[in-house]
A and B are shown apart, each in its own frame.
Chain A
Amino acid sequence: MRAFDYIRAGSCKDALAEAETPGTAFIAGGTNLLDLMKHEVMTPARLVDISRLDLRGITLTDAGLRIGAMVSNSDLAADPLVRRHWPLLSRALLAGASGQLRNKATTGGNLLQRTRCYYFYDTAMQCNKREPGSGCAAIGGFNRIHAILGASDACIATHPSDMAVALRALSAEVELLAAGGGRRQVPLAAFYRLPGDTPHVETVLEPGEMIAAVLLPPAEGGRQIYRKVRDRASYAFALVSVAACLRMETGRIAAAALAFGGLAHMPWRSAELEGALIGEAPSPALFDHAADLLLAEAKGQGDNDFKIPLARRTLAAVLAEATAEEGARA
Chain B
Amino acid sequence: MHVTLTINDTKHHLELDPRVTLLDAIRHHAGLTGTKKGCDHGQCGACTVMVNGRRINSCLSLAVMHDGDAITTIEGLGTPEALSPLQAAFIETDGFQCGYCTPGQICSATAMLEEIRAGWPSHVSETLDGPALPTEAEIAERMSGNLCRCSAYPNIIAAIRLAAAEREDAA
Give chain A's interface residues, CB within 8 Å of chain B: 1, 3-6, 8, 27, 30-31, 34-35, 38, 47, 49, 51, 74, 77-78, 83-84, 87, 90-91, 94-95, 97-101, 103-104, 233-235
Shortest Cβ distance from residue B51 to the other chain A in the assembled complex, whole angstroms: 8
- Does B19 lie within 8 Å of A3, measured CB to CB? yes
User: Which residues from chain B contact A8 at a C-beta distance below 8 Å?
Assistant: 64-65, 67
Query: What are 17 residue pairs bridging A and B, where the CB atoms are less than 8 Å apart in the complex?
Result: A4-B18, A6-B62, A31-B57, A34-B62, A35-B41, A38-B41, A47-B18, A49-B65, A74-B115, A78-B119, A91-B123, A94-B121, A94-B122, A94-B125, A95-B123, A98-B145, A104-B61
B108 within 8 A of A: yes
User: Which residues from chain A contact B122 at a C-beta distance below 8 Å?
Assistant: 94
Shortest Cβ distance from residue B150 to the other chain A in the assembled complex, whole angstroms: 18
Give chain B's interface residues, CB within 8 Å of chain A: 1, 17-19, 21, 40-42, 45, 48, 54-57, 60-62, 64-65, 67, 108, 111-112, 115, 118-123, 125, 128-129, 140-146
- Does A34 lie within 8 Å of B128, measured CB to CB? no
User: Which residues from chain A contact B55 at a C-beta distance below 8 Å?
Assistant: 99-100, 103
Please give 18 more A-B residue pairs, beta carbons under 8 A apart, in addition to A34-B62, A91-B128. Answer: A4-B18, A30-B62, A34-B61, A74-B120, A77-B120, A84-B128, A90-B121, A90-B128, A91-B123, A94-B125, A98-B145, A99-B111, A99-B144, A100-B55, A100-B57, A100-B108, A103-B54, A104-B60
Report the Cα distance A163→B21, complex, angstroms: 27
User: Which residues from chain A contact B41 at a C-beta distance below 8 Å?
Assistant: 35, 38
User: Which residues from chain B contact A87 at a C-beta distance below 8 Å?
Assistant: 128
User: Which residues from chain B contact A31 at a C-beta distance below 8 Å?
Assistant: 42, 57, 60
Shortest Cβ distance from residue A110 to the other chain B in the assembled complex, whole angstroms: 14
Taking a contact as CB atoms closer than 8 A, the residue among B1, B21, B112, B129 that contacts A34 in the complex is B21
- Does A78 lie within 8 Å of B40, measured CB to CB? no
Name, among A27, A49, A91, A94, the residue most crowded by chain B CB atoms within 10 Å (CB to CB). Answer: A94
Shortest Cβ distance from residue B129 to the other chain A in the assembled complex, whole angstroms: 7
**CB-CB nearest 10 A-B residue pairs:** A98-B145, A234-B144, A6-B18, A235-B144, A83-B128, A94-B123, A78-B120, A103-B54, A100-B145, A100-B57
Report the Cα distance A3→B140, complex, angstroms: 39
Q: A38-B40, A77-B121, A78-B120 are in contact. Are A100 and B128 (CB under 8 A)?
A: no
User: Which residues from chain A contact B64 at a C-beta distance below 8 Å?
Assistant: 6, 8, 49
Q: A38-B41, A94-B121 are in contact. Are A100 and B56 (CB under 8 A)?
A: yes
Taking a contact as CB atoms closer than 8 A, the residue among A1, A49, A103, A234 that contacts B123 in the complex is A234
- Does B123 lie within 8 Å of A83, measured CB to CB? no
- Does A234 lie within 8 Å of B56, measured CB to CB? no
- Does B141 lie within 8 Å of A234, measured CB to CB? yes
Shortest Cβ distance from residue A271 to the other chain B in the assembled complex, whole angstroms: 29
Report the Cα distance A235→B118, complex, angstroms: 22
User: Which residues from chain B contact A101 at a C-beta distance below 8 Å?
Assistant: 42, 56-57, 60, 145
Q: A3-B19, A6-B1, A34-B60 are in contact. Are A83 and B65 (CB under 8 A)?
A: no
Shortest Cβ distance from residue A100 to the other chain B in the assembled complex, whole angstroms: 5
Name, among B45, B120, B142, the residue most crowded by chain A CB atoms within 10 Å (CB to CB). Answer: B120
User: Which residues from chain B contact A1 at a C-beta distance below 8 Å?
Assistant: 19
- Does B128 lie within 8 Å of A104, measured CB to CB? no
- Does B121 lie within 8 Å of A83, measured CB to CB? yes
Shortest Cβ distance from residue B13 to the other chain A in the assembled complex, whole angstroms: 17
- Does B61 lie within 8 Å of A100, measured CB to CB? no
Shortest Cβ distance from residue B75 to the other chain A in the assembled complex, whole angstroms: 19
Report the Cα distance A1→B17, complex, angstroms: 11
Report the Cα distance A176→B95, complex, angstroms: 48
- Does B57 lie within 8 Å of A5, measured CB to CB? no
Shortest Cβ distance from residue B112 to the other chain A in the assembled complex, whole angstroms: 6
Report the Cα distance A83→B122, complex, angstroms: 11
Report the Cα distance A177→B18, complex, angstroms: 27
Report the Cα distance A35→B60, complex, angstroms: 7
Chain A residue nearest in CB terms to B55: A100
Shortest Cβ distance from residue B31 to the other chain A in the assembled complex, whole angstroms: 22
- Does A78 lie within 8 Å of B123, measured CB to CB? no
Report the Cα distance A5→B40, complex, angstroms: 22
User: Which residues from chain B contact A51 at a C-beta distance below 8 Å?
Assistant: 65
User: Which residues from chain A contact B19 at a C-beta distance below 8 Å?
Assistant: 1, 3-4
Report the Cα distance A91→B18, complex, angstroms: 35
Shortest Cβ distance from residue A80 to the other chain B in the assembled complex, whole angstroms: 9
